[in-house]
A and B are shown apart, each in its own frame.
Chain A
């Protein structure tokens, strides 16, 4: 059954090519091809997930060559989870693009290419192959960000391209150093060879530093996040929903894959300074992201900075390198993708219905768009970490992992992030519901506007339901992830 893996990567790319060709003949066909492509992708992802969670890791050797020489595709619990999120969010957000401005075939070709690239990053077992898929994802993302025909989005797209390419090139240089140190590029092989080459050797340390910095740029952690706010704010709403949910998530998955499959946990025990640096940089990103988010006036820029802070949390969890923190990081990675996507979708619906884009324009919106503001508030509180939602469960495991590791400062920062996230969401919720002016006095008043459900709003509501269900189902997911964690931690 290991044929599903290459299919999950090739099919979206083939669909993208088909979309271009059919697009020449019939202009409208772009959306339908994208629908078919992402629907099939969801089926494949679920197939892979059931297979992986059924009986452990599955691998596929491209072109029949055994691993050290050939490229190997691998799917374990972590990658199956991220792949399912990519497929489902890719499929759902497509409904979002239907409603909004009519897109040309080039947009849907780029959309499918992005889904294909993300699937590639998630499934690849070869380090250089991960660079190629990261670049494919990046390329599609740059084009999609610039697809809104305003000057601002072109400038943001160019800035994203330049900084993203530097990140990918650093990643490539890191891969080069690892290749020079060991002579192989396959991840499983590398973990053994790197240990043989000695973790403290200068070459291996340099490769680790370069790879992690490159991916940090891709995830937009604090010092190197400058491309993200402008890119998310100026992209069309459907694109910023898709990209905020998936692109950084895939890059964060890539860091987890490298920390646990390539450099494995022994690297951190051999080089504790590397672990401390990564953990403290991530914690700094949590604090700085939240502070910057509070300063923003434009909603989408605020949500972009909130992503910087939340991914700081995820990377800190992965860097703590114990099982509970890893589980927390994975749950928050998946949960954050759904929450942030839902938030951007809700912000988009509010913008369309009321034209409000900045925090001040959000005054008194509860009457005009009751359901959209309702979903924005609930998703905001979920991200803050108010229980039954998935935000709380992720934070609980990460905090428990940090405490078990004895890293008290990080545990404090993680728990403090609740208040920091609250700082910028309470501000918006207060304006939405308790507005600026005092409404008129009416006797025994019956209030509340007439709610209407558009397809875009349905997506935001679906995100809310998903967040609650994932919150309650987290322990089931933890049991599913058990075998993968045993394998990754080499128990």
Chain B
């Protein structure tokens, strides 16, 4: 397993690298766009997170696994995951603190406030899903030095 890590599994091709370099900003913004929409229109954290994760994996294919892995430091992935769960729980528990049930957005005052609440939750879920998927992908690619995080 470790023997073939030095070998580059595929030939670096400029075509893919340029296409990916052009595509990535648009796909990432589209992913964010999907994450934001969840309250009144189609969209949501899961799909957005999946799109962002797909883009990061495409980057890894284009620019090689190891460089992308070094670029995406482990701490960022863990912070994104942990932070996402804590914000989701925070929004839910906040509603309870204000006297409503768990995740009762109307407790946050008006309808718009609840819309923002939903979008905040969608964003945190997007963060969790994208971080989890990229983290797991790199764990598999990297062999087994880094113990996989389980909190999908």
Contact = CB atoms under 8 A, between A and B. Distances in A.
Interface of A: 3, 6-7, 10, 13-14, 16-18, 20-21, 24, 60-64, 104, 106, 109-110, 113, 139-140, 143
B119 to A, nearest CB: 15
Chain A CB count within 10 A is highest, among B75, B95, B101, for: B101
Interface in B85-123: 85-86, 89, 92-93, 95-96, 100-106
A17 B101 contact: no
Chain B CB count within 10 A is highest, among A10, A16, A20, A63, for: A63
A17 B81 contact: yes
Given A18-B82, A21-B82, A109 B151 contact: yes
A17 B106 contact: no
A18 B79 CA distance: 10
Given A106-B149, A106-B150, A14 B78 contact: no
B147 interface: yes
Contact of A16 (B95, B101, B102, B151): B151
Given A24-B78, A109-B151, A139-B152, A13 B101 contact: no
A114 B83 CA distance: 20
A6 B96 contact: yes
Leading 10 A-B pairs by shortest Cβ distance: A17-B85, A21-B82, A6-B102, A64-B104, A63-B103, A106-B147, A17-B82, A14-B89, A143-B150, A64-B101
Task: Give chain A's interface secondary structure class.
Answer: helix
Contacts of A106: 147-150
Given A6-B101, A21-B78, A109-B149, 12 more contacts: A3-B96, A6-B92, A7-B93, A10-B89, A17-B86, A24-B79, A63-B102, A64-B104, A104-B147, A106-B150, A113-B150, A140-B150
Contacts of A7: 93, 96
Interface in B131-152: 147-152
B150 A10 contact: no
A28 B85 CA distance: 22
B79 A21 contact: yes
Interface residues of B, number: 27
A14 B106 CA distance: 23
Task: Give chain B's interface secondary structure class.
Answer: helix
B75 to A, nearest CB: 6
B94 to A, nearest CB: 12
Contacts of B96: 3, 6-7
Given A13-B89, A14-B85, A14-B89, A20 B101 contact: no
Contacts of A16: 85, 151
Given A104-B147, A106-B148, A113-B151, A20 B82 contact: yes
A242 B78 CA distance: 26
A402 to B, nearest CB: 42
Nearest to A5: B102
Contacts of B106: 64
Interface string B48-73: 00000000000000000000000000
18 contacts: A3-B96, A7-B96, A10-B92, A10-B93, A13-B85, A13-B89, A14-B86, A16-B85, A20-B81, A21-B86, A24-B79, A60-B102, A64-B104, A106-B147, A106-B148, A106-B150, A110-B150, A139-B152
Contacts of A139: 150, 152
A60 B152 CA distance: 25
A138 to B, nearest CB: 11
B102 A62 contact: yes
A6 B93 CA distance: 9
A324 B83 CA distance: 49
Contacts of A18: 82, 86
A63 B82 contact: no
B86 A63 contact: no
A24 B85 contact: no
Contacts of B148: 106, 143
Interface in B36-51: none
A109 B150 contact: yes
Contact of A17 (B75, B102, B151): B151
Nearest to B106: A64
B111 to A, nearest CB: 14
A64 B74 CA distance: 38
A24 B92 CA distance: 25
Nearest to A139: B150
Contacts of A140: 150
A236 B89 CA distance: 31
Contacts of B105: 63
B123 to A, nearest CB: 16
B101 to A, nearest CB: 5
Nearest to B84: A17
